[in-house]
Structure 1
Amino acid sequence: MLEMDYDVTPLSVRIARVIVSAHLRLWGMEKLVDTGALVVSELLTNVLNHTRPDRDGRRSALITVTRTPDGVALCVHDEDPSLPQRRCAGDEDEDGRGLQLVSVIADQFGASRTPSGGKDVWLTLLSPREPKAMP
């Protein structure tokens, strides 16, 4: 399992992509590297853009990536209780598609408030199965 306590900044979002990609490679999940990097980037960007900073002006998140028998589970926890809202981005909009993208890419996706008053945004990515050879 990979667990990172993060002060979310534009630079730390890029660093998280690299770290998650490296762990997926280490775990032998090369086929999930690009997808894993994309979804962690989208979820952290949502923390950066849509959560309230703490009294020190930081936007903190706890990222957990867990290897499962058939893929990976990823969770981003922050202390803002506002659940993410999917938007209908127009053709000319430069943002607003992140959650739509994540919900399409992920095999499972959800968000829930936590007892601490924050929220978890989580997803699972299943490893693609190799097609069976025809006899």
Structure 2
Amino acid sequence: MITQPARHCAVELQALPARIGQVRRIVSAQLRYWHLDPLIDQAALGVTELLTNVHRHAEPDKLCTVEMDLLLDRLTVSVRDHDPRIPTVHNADQFATCGRGLSLIAAVSESWGVRPQGAEGKTVWFTLPAPSPATAGSAGALYGATTPGPFAEPQPAARSALVS
């Protein structure tokens, strides 16, 4: 049984170098909003590596979607692109300037993988263990916040009632 609701954030972009930095900042801001500051460095590094792979290798275009899902004690970060080719882990030699991205993701994440979507492309994902609500802040702040995230549509102000 799930006792806390899931959290979700998605960003669609062209995987170009300037946009990769913007998405890294969005990921960091969203994790701060969810009170998951300890995961910022790992998540930003992982999403940077996945977006760099899209930038360098994806065909026919660089359009992709970055998604973050927080469910209970697990953060899943995924990047979906339109290239059906499945990435592989390379054993880069010590002087290579590239080829370590997926190895790095494997090293900093709890798990990672690829979900092929046929001719539509693929999704590459990784998970990070999220601190429990008791250690990351109050359960209300982590899971039951009533204010929108930093990139949500503005909501009308709630009316407060005076209690006498």
Normalised-by-shorter TM-score class? 0.7 to 0.9
Q: Work out whether 1:97 is the aligned partner of 2:96.
A: no
Q: Map Cα deviations across residues 11-32 of structure 1 (whole Å, 9 max, x no partner).
A: 0111111000110011000100
- Partner of residue 34 from structure 1, selected from 32, 41, 52: 41
- The residue type equivalent to 1:81 in the other structure is P
Please report how far the alpha carbon of residue 128 of structure 1 lies from its aligned counterpart in structure 2 after TM superposition: 5.2
- In the other structure, the counterpart of 1:133 is none
- Partner of residue 47 from structure 1, selected from 39, 46, 54: 54
Could you tell me how far apart the structure 1 residues matched to 2:78 and 2:88 are?
17
In terms of Rg, which structure is larger?
A: 2
- In the other structure, the counterpart of 2:143 is none
Structure 1 vs Structure 2: percent identity of aligned residues?
34
Please report how far the alpha carbon of residue 103 of structure 1 lies from its aligned counterpart in structure 2 after TM superposition: 1.0
Q: Work out whether 1:5 is the aligned partner of 2:8.
A: no
Q: Map Cα deviations across residues 88-121 of structure 1 (whole Å, 9 max, x no partner).
A: 1111111111100101111110002114520010
4+ runs deviating over 4 angstroms: none
Could you tell me how far apart the structure 1 residues matched to 2:9 and 2:77 are?
9
Number of residue-to-residue matches in the alignment: 126
Task: Tell me the TM-score normalised to structure 1 length.
Answer: 0.87
Please report how far the alpha carbon of residue 43 of structure 1 lies from its aligned counterpart in structure 2 after TM superposition: 0.3
Could you tell me how far apart the structure 2 residues matched to 1:117 and 1:42 are?
21
Task: Tell me the TM-score normalised to structure 2 length.
Answer: 0.73
- The residue type equivalent to 1:101 in the other structure is L
- The residue type equivalent to 2:55 in the other structure is L
- In the other structure, the counterpart of 2:67 is 64
Q: Judge conservation of contact 2:84–2:120 (CA < 8 Å) in 1.
A: yes
Where structure 1 has 5 or more consecutive residues not aligned to the other structure, the ranges are 131-135
- Partner of residue 121 from structure 1, selected from 120, 124, 132: 124
- The residue type equivalent to 2:89 in the other structure is R
- The residue type equivalent to 1:31 in the other structure is P
- In the other structure, the counterpart of 2:85 is 82
- The residue type equivalent to 1:110 in the other structure is G
The alignment's C-alpha RMSD in Å is: 1.4
